[in-house]
Amino acid sequence: MPKDTSLEIRQLIQRGFEHHEHSRVHDALSDWETALKLDGRNAQARRLVEFGRARAAEIEAGRHTPPSRRDTVESPIPQFLAALTERKSDKIAVPDERAANGPAAAPSDHALRLRATADKPAERKASPASETDVPAAADTLEDLPVHAEDVRASAEELLGECRTALGENRASPAALAAELALQLAERAPPPGVDDLVDPARALFERAFRAFLGNPHACPIRAVPTETLTEHGLDERAAFLMSRMDGMTSLADLIDSSGFRRFDAVRVLAALRRAKAIDILPPLP
Amino acid sequence: MAERAIGIDLGTTNSCVAVLEGATPTVIANRGGYKTTPSVVAMSESGKRLVGHIAKRQAVTNAENTAWAVKRLIGRPWTSPAVQAVKAAVPYGLIEGPHGDVRIRLRDQLFSVPELSAYVLQEMRAIAEEYLGQTVSKAVVTVPAYFNDGQRQATKDAGRIAGLDVIRIINEPTAAALAYGFGKKIDGKIAVFDLGGGTFDVSILDITNGVFEVVATAGDTFLGGEDYDKRLVDWLAQGFAKEHKVDLRADTMALQRLKDAAEKAKCDLSSVRETEINLPFVISTGRNQAFHLHRVITRSKLEELTLDLTERTIQICRLTMEDAGIQPEDLSEVVLVGGMTRMTKVQELVGEFFAREPCKSVHPDEVVAMGASIQGAALVDAAAAPDMLLLDVTPHSLGIMVAGGHFHRLIDRNTTVPTAKSHIFTTVRDDQTSVKIVVFQGESDRAEENELLGEFVLSGLRRAMKGEVEIEVTFEISADGIVSVSAQDMETGAEQSITVTASSGLTESEIARMAAESQEEMVASRAEEEVEKERQRIEKLVNEAEGLLPKVEEILAGTPFGEDSLDNVRLILDDARMAVERRDAGGLEQVAEPLMRTLNMFRGVVDSGRLRSG
């Protein structure tokens, strides 16, 4: 059979992705450069080479640290949920990415006050163990001594924070507030906060989209898929990551995920927050 | 720029487009660098139409709204057994159309089969236009050699809906042979063994002095690469279930990944003896309980899993050769077509059966489109392929129903096309003014067991005693394999009016409407692309200007260039940012010029600031 160059190129690009997700940037770049040599018109190879070179230069200049398990695992959400059950804790901040990115950045000025307290008896059932223990994270708040009014107040504050941050073009805290509100709704004890959170889905979707940025940009995997559980992500995230090829745009990924659009946008935002993906600029 | 004709292999599973450049047929890669594009069309939740790879990649998770292998349905009436077989096998909805044809439901919309095929053709056209940098309107499209008139006509209709002038429909094995024999001196009989993604065909062609004649053809429309993939998927899923007690096939996301991985592994095993299938986090059964699939599969295992499929192709070859009265030693070459023929076991069994090493000089995925592009170039410009004459045969007998429901053959199968045959009809009653003729294609002596092509009503006959009026009806099969009918009163020479009642497919007005809609969508999509390009350009400019603004403010502080002017500049940037965010075409146009002016001013200020400080 004649040599199938396009197959060879695809294999090289794929191998490059594997190197990249294991932070072997130079190996990835080398594979992508070889692919580009095989077909100088291959747009995918060209963009990956540009991305790889820029990333290598950033690392060289100390402007980029490859994601390590420690910093990619970090998610405020388990901490937030735990905070809802803390006896003394009455405050948790929704971090602003600018604040997290370095000392020069401004601190978040939109700290959220979450009136989580165990002083009041839980409306439904309280777990005796939780009176004294502070769980690291909870699957549900139903078994925890959280007063429904506090959950409601927190949800309202998160909604407000999401709206305010979005209005001020602070996409990262807006998206985080949206995610927290959704998680709160998913875990809240009856009567729940769905009546507050559900009507705000359009707002949340806008927040997630703003956080994701240009819908025509193309994501690629930045960490191995098997580590996603450590980021608190599920198999939907793994599925979306398996679709990423550096050519498929965020918009196309959302459309072709087979998920409801809102879910796809939310999972992608979670992946971005966990730094599990890198985003390539849109195709020319 | 001279008009060029492209060649399109509109496949069941994948499609491919090529163009003749100089004396070389060039297969055109899509944006992803793939030279074949899945013949898959889907509708996303947001109502966006997805075509090609993107549609294929969500075919399992959005199964009900993803149409694939519609070629098996094209031009077939609803009552056809093939349609009912497809209906039972696919997750997308099929319903009967207004003309006894097939309609496909995706989301809440109904599509005719030619319409969905048109979306694939449109995609192929777009790929070619992007590569050539010019509009393409003429195309040669290939179809399986056994396609009947209805299927060929429906394929041509698909071309029209896609805005293409399908200048010729040619048989796939003919196209393959054309590409194989192009620029060579080939005489003799060749076999074309075509095992694609969803179908298998084998054809015997006789090539003499540039004349390509299909002498026999057969196949199986439900045998192809997907069946091989399925075996591999089942093997992987069963192994996983044994280990983890979880059936991956029950989860759409896991199944989609499994299918993708199986197809990739199958392809890999054509070049390596073993390969790894690695699907991290393929499924979870609860919080933080991720399962990974990791298996190694060898080439021999794949061969073992799929041996009966490969053997089935050989059985069909045996029957075809017997039917044509040809021995393997009568053949001068065996040409392999279709991605599945990369599989070593397929090559081995084909070699054994035909008692010769199959030809491996042509790309099996690309050869059909290449042949179509050669034919296209020859039709647009005879000098492109001098001395080339392409003759096909009709794969089915053409005839009419006569008294007693019998099938009266007018044109026998394997007759070289174009061809024409006339038949004299007379009236059977006094004062009879019309005659109804029912036309079929097929081989059965019972008319109803053949494929109904249409009903032709000869009307306006002059009143006379029975048997006095003689009408000559001429049946023609064009080089495309498409049937047409004309009628003439033998005595007066007057042309008779003929009414065609569609038995399947689309009416003329439906095709025109669909073509117009498709054209409008294409224009809108191009306009959308233009807006996006402009949005990206403006966004880049805004980012640069916003990046320079603090520096400019610093430099201009305390200068006569006052705060008012800076406010104006900030307003321009705000407007630009708003237009970018809203994707507002008018807004983008309005801000482009003042933004550019602002940016130039910023650059000048920053440069002069640098000079001063330097």
Answer yes or no: B530 catalytic. no
Q: Which residue has the higher pLDDT, A58 or B236?
A: B236
Q: 0.90 exceeded by the pTM?
A: no
Q: Pull the structure tokens for residue B111.
A: 């599509």
Alpha-helix runs per DSSP H in B295-343: 299-324
Active-site annotation holder among B149, B157, B172, B263: B172
Residues B280 and B428 in one domain: no
What is the C-alpha separation between A218 and A220, in angstroms, rounded? 7
For residue B492, the domain's CATH number is 2.60.34.10
Higher-pLDDT residue of B5 and A104 is: B5
Average pLDDT, chain A: 75
Structural contact between residues B152 and B402, judged by C-beta atoms closer than 8 angstroms? no
Average pLDDT over residues B587-592: 89
> What's the average model confidence in pLDDT over B9-25?
94
B284 and B146 part of one domain = no
* Least trusted range by pLDDT, from A188-202, B58-72, B266-280, B387-401: B387-401
pLDDT in tens, B79-91: 888 899 889 888 8
pLDDT > 60? residue B528: yes
Decide if B489 is catalytic: no
Catalytic residue among B194, B226, B451, B480: B194
The two tokens of residue A105 are 């950045």
Residue A119 has pLDDT above 60, yes or no: no
Q: What average pLDDT score do residues B504-526 get? A: 81
pLDDT tens-place string over residues B380-410 = 887 766 666 677 778 788 888 887 888 989 8
To which residue do tokens 């076999």 refer?
B191
Cα A223 to the center of its chain, rounded Å: 13
Domain ranges of chain A: 5-60, 76-211, 213-280
Instruction: Give how many domains chain B has, as a whole number.
Output: 4
Chain B positions in Cβ-Cβ contact with residue A47 (cut-off 8 Å): none
* The predicted structure's pLDDT at residue B364: 93
- CB-nearest partner of A261 from B46, B50, B284: B46
pLDDT at A98: 41
Same-domain check for residues B375 and B417? no
Domain boundary among B486, B506, B526: B506
Determine the average pLDDT of the residues in B39-65: 90
Cβ of B257 within 8 Å of Cβ of A256? The answer is no
Tokens for A96, please give them: 């602003």
Q: For the domain that residue B72 is a member of, what is the CATH number? A: 3.30.420.40
Helices (H) and strands (E) in chain B — how many of each? 13, 29
Task: Judge: A226–B292 Cβ closer than 8 Å, yes or no.
Answer: yes
Residues B145 and B97 in one domain: yes
CA distance B284 to B505: 46
- Residue B36 has a pLDDT of 94
Whether the per-residue pLDDT at B310 is higher than 90: the answer is yes
The residues in B 271-310 lying below 8 A from A, measured between CB atoms, are 279-284, 287-290, 292
pLDDT at residue B10 is higher than 90: yes
In a shared domain, residues B422 and B527: no
Q: Which domain holds residue B140?
A: 5-224+307-392
The CATH number assigned to the domain holding B597 equals: 1.20.140
- Residue B198: the pLDDT is 87
Asked if B57 has any chain A CB less than 8 Å from its own CB, the reply is yes
Residue A272 reports pLDDT greater than 60? yes
Query: Quick one: pLDDT at residue A112?
Result: 38
Of the two residues B442 and A68, the one the predictor is more confident about is: B442
Task: Give the C-alpha separation, B298 to B296, whole Å.
Answer: 7
Cα A262 to chain centroid distance, Å, stands at: 14
Same domain, B241 and B374: no
Token readout for B39 is 């013949």
Asked if B478 and B441 count as a contact pair (C-beta separation under 8 A), the reply is: no
Token code pair at residue B101: 């044809």
Residue A35 has what pLDDT?
94
User: Quick check: A258 and B287 CB within 8 A?
Assistant: no
Residues above pLDDT 90, as percent of chain B: 44
Rounded to whole angstroms, the Cα distance separating B275 from B290 reads 23
Q: A2-6, A89-93, B50-54, B458-462: lowest mean pLDDT where?
A: A89-93
* Residues B46 and B20 grouped into a single domain: yes
pLDDT of residue B213: 79
Name the more confident of A209 and B487: A209
Reported as a single tens digit per residue, the pLDDT across A66-89 is: 665 444 434 455 566 566 655 443
Please say which residue of B343, B376, B392 terminates a domain.
B392
The answer to whether residues B207 and B325 belong to one domain is yes
Mutate: best of A47, A235, A236, partner B, most B CBs <10 A: A235
Q: Give how far the C-alpha of residue B346 lies from the chain's centroid of Cα atoms, to the nearest Å.
A: 25
Supply the pLDDT for residue A69.
46
Q: Quick one: pLDDT at residue B307?
A: 97
Q: Could you tell me if B192 and B235 lie in one domain?
A: no
Q: Decide which of B491 and B5 is more confident.
A: B5
pLDDT at B60: 87
pLDDT, tens only, B126-159: 999 999 999 999 999 999 888 888 899 999 999 9
Among A225-229, B92-96, B130-134, B371-375, name the one with the lowest average pLDDT: A225-229
Instruction: Assign B539 a pLDDT band (cuts: 50, 70, 90).
Output: confident
pLDDT for res A114: 40
Proportion of chain B above pLDDT 70, given as a percent: 95
Distance CA B556, CA B313 (A): 80
Q: Counting one residue from A and one from B, how many pairs have CB atoms under 8 Å apart?
A: 103
pLDDT digits (tens, 9 = 90+) for A40-60: 888 888 889 999 999 999 888
Q: What local confidence, expressed as pLDDT, does residue A132 receive?
A: 35
| Nearest Cα to Cα of residue A272 among A17, A75, A44, A57 | A75
Say yes or no: B278 and B329 in one domain: no
A247 touches chain B (CB under 8 A): yes
pLDDT score of B587:
87
Confidence band (pLDDT; 50, 70, 90) for A109? very low
User: What is the residue-averaged pLDDT of chain B?
Assistant: 88
Clarify whether residues B353 and B398 are in a common domain.
no
Query: Looking at the structure, do residues B84 and B65 belong to the same domain, yes or no?
Result: yes
Range B489-505 average pLDDT: 65
Q: Read off the pLDDT of residues A162-207 as tens digits, 9 standing for 90 and up.
A: 999 988 888 999 999 999 999 888 888 788 889 989 999 999 999 9
B257, B290, B364 ranked by CB distance to A226: nearest: B290
